[in-house]
Structure 1
């Protein structure tokens, strides 16, 4: 990989890591389900107008959109809004990697190697450590919601594997058409039918620019630019050469939350985070899946690649 492309891969990790910070800022201006709906609604309109429909079965597109889009980001945004530390959320959502491997083994009969099992074990130990830390801080529910968000990501990954799109980026873009309806319905039911729209109106005023800037970042840099660069790199290089850069995402997420939001993770939480990152790295490097092809995750900001290990989201 050239020095330029290494820098581009690292830049994408920075984009995705800072996504969690943008989400935290956005949640100061919008309710969580409504913000999650907005991030996809902004993309869905131009996608329907200008992007050809991908050559996949509709059920797999719906499965990916509901799991990866609505389920994951709706619960992740809700967890952060309820008090899940922004930096730790960038780590805990990495549980999607071992969950994808386990679900692939259970539902798709995919074989898992010894290295994959070691990776799952390390990640589980890390999650237990973070869970103990969160229980001491009386914020276990947001932790549980973040784990459920990771489960949604994993379910979306299985749909993307079964879809096997010839154009992963087109498939990912069309996925954005699915989440707005269920997320807007959840927003109306749980946040109030007019709450989100009132917040959007307020964001258009002079005091609301941070919320709009956060939304613009999530859509333009976190999603469009990050996904575009990552997909281009995956076309030039083997997946195993590109994917390790995604392990920088939670590092950036924790560092940004530390510097900007003054979040100070405890030693136990940092140890748990290190175990999760190590487990994801061990369990998703080439060879972690069995010879029959283990389940592999998708980069959480809309890059679909059915032949590479997982990275992170926000």
Structure 2
């Protein structure tokens, strides 16, 4: 992986980490379900007009949009609106990685290695520590909603994997066409049919520009720019080399929340967060093992001597094999 690509991967992690700050700013002006609907609506209109639809089964595109869009963002925005610290949310939502492994194994018989099992266990332990810590000082509902949002992200991952689109970036962009209608219907039912639209109209006033900037950032910088660069990195490099950079996202999310929102992790929350990040890294790591060269089975010569054919092969003494390609 070149120095330029490493810089770009870190830049994408910065863009995605800042998303959580933008969401917090947006929620100060818009209801959560309406904000999540707007996020995708801003993308859906130009996508339908200018982006060719990828070749992929419609059912997987719809499931991707419902899981990644409706469940993940709808529940995540509600959780942050109900009191989930945005920095901590950026950590907990990483549970999508172990959820994806479990769903892949349960639904499609995908093999889960020992290292992946260890990573899942460590991530679950970390989330348990965070839950126990929050139960002493705050309601658990926002945390549970964030975990369910991670599960929705995992469903989207599974759908994207099964779809096998001919153009992954177009597939990711066309996913934005699915969530707006369900989210707007849910917003009308749960938040009031005119609440979000009145908030949108008010944001065009003198003091509403932060909400519009936050909305534009989540839709464009966080999605189009970030996903576009990330897709290019995956085309030029192995996924196992690029994927660990995504673990910078919760680091950025926590740091930004601390700097701009005054959020601070308790000691136990910090320990649990480290366990979640470590579990995701462990589960997605490429584990290399040494495999000894096969021994020559040529029988020894008479007199107990061994001929040249009984010596080890002149090739390398061991081979390196990837046993855990995530």
Task: State the TM-score, normalizing by the size of structure 1.
Answer: 0.91
Question: In structure 2, how many angstroms separate the alpha carbons of the residues matched to 1:93 and 1:240?
Answer: 20
How far is 1:5 from its partner?
1.7
Once the two structures are superposed, the pairs formed by residues 55-204 of structure 1 within 5 Å of their partners are: 55-204=55-204
Please tell me whether the aligned partners of residues 122 and 276 of structure 1 are also in contact (alpha carbons under 8 angstroms): yes
In the alignment, which residue of structure 2 is the partner of 1:269? 269
How far is 1:82 from its partner?
0.1
In the alignment, which residue of structure 2 is the partner of 1:52? 52
Please tell me whether the aligned partners of residues 16 and 222 of structure 1 are also in contact (alpha carbons under 8 angstroms): yes
How far is 1:6 from its partner?
1.2
Q: Deviations over 1:36-95 (max 9, x none)?
A: 000100000000011111101110000000001111100000000000001000000011
Structure 1 gaps, min length 5: 289-307, 310-314
In the alignment, which residue of structure 1 is the partner of 2:207? 207
How far is 1:287 from its partner?
4.9
Question: In structure 1, how many angstroms separate the alpha carbons of the residues matched to 2:243 and 2:150?
Answer: 18
How far is 1:139 from its partner?
2.0
How far is 1:282 from its partner?
0.4
Structure 2 gaps, min length 5: 289-324
SS at match of 1:206: coil
How far is 1:21 from its partner?
0.6
| 1:253 and 2:253 correspond | yes
Question: In structure 2, how many angstroms separate the alpha carbons of the residues matched to 1:111 and 1:210?
Answer: 46
SS at match of 2:177: coil
Please tell me whether the aligned partners of residues 29 and 203 of structure 1 are also in contact (alpha carbons under 8 angstroms): yes
Please tell me whether the aligned partners of residues 73 and 149 of structure 1 are also in contact (alpha carbons under 8 angstroms): yes
Please tell me whether the aligned partners of residues 79 and 145 of structure 2 are also in contact (alpha carbons under 8 angstroms): yes
Question: In structure 1, how many angstroms separate the alpha carbons of the residues matched to 2:210 and 2:130?
Answer: 30
How far is 1:138 from its partner?
2.2
| 1:217 and 2:210 correspond | no
Question: In structure 1, how many angstroms separate the alpha carbons of the residues matched to 2:286 and 2:224?
Answer: 27
Q: Deviations over 1:288-310 (max 9, x none)?
A: 9xxxxxxxxxxxxxxxxxxx85x
Q: Deviations over 1:185-235 (max 9, x none)?
A: 010000000000000000111110010010111112111111111111111
SS at match of 2:265: coil
Question: In structure 2, how many angstroms separate the alpha carbons of the residues matched to 1:163 and 1:195?
Answer: 36
Equivalent pairs, count: 291
The more displaced of 224-233 and 265-274 is 224-233
How far is 1:181 from its partner?
0.4
Please tell me whether the aligned partners of residues 113 and 287 of structure 1 are also in contact (alpha carbons under 8 angstroms): no
Question: In structure 1, how many angstroms separate the alpha carbons of the residues matched to 2:124 and 2:239?
Answer: 25
| Structure 1 consecutive aligned stretches of length 4 or more whose deviation exceeds 4 Å | none
In the alignment, which residue of structure 2 is the partner of 1:14? 14
SS at match of 1:176: helix
Question: In structure 2, how many angstroms separate the alpha carbons of the residues matched to 1:284 and 1:241?
Answer: 10
The higher radius of gyration belongs to 2
Question: In structure 1, how many angstroms separate the alpha carbons of the residues matched to 2:215 and 2:155?
Answer: 25
Question: In structure 1, how many angstroms separate the alpha carbons of the residues matched to 2:176 and 2:137?
Answer: 35
Provide the alpha-carbon RMSD of the alignment.
Answer: 1.3
In the alignment, which residue of structure 1 is the partner of 2:282? 282
Question: In structure 1, how many angstroms separate the alpha carbons of the residues matched to 2:21 and 2:133?
Answer: 21
The more displaced of 232-241 and 270-279 is 232-241
Question: In structure 1, how many angstroms separate the alpha carbons of the residues matched to 2:220 and 2:4?
Answer: 22
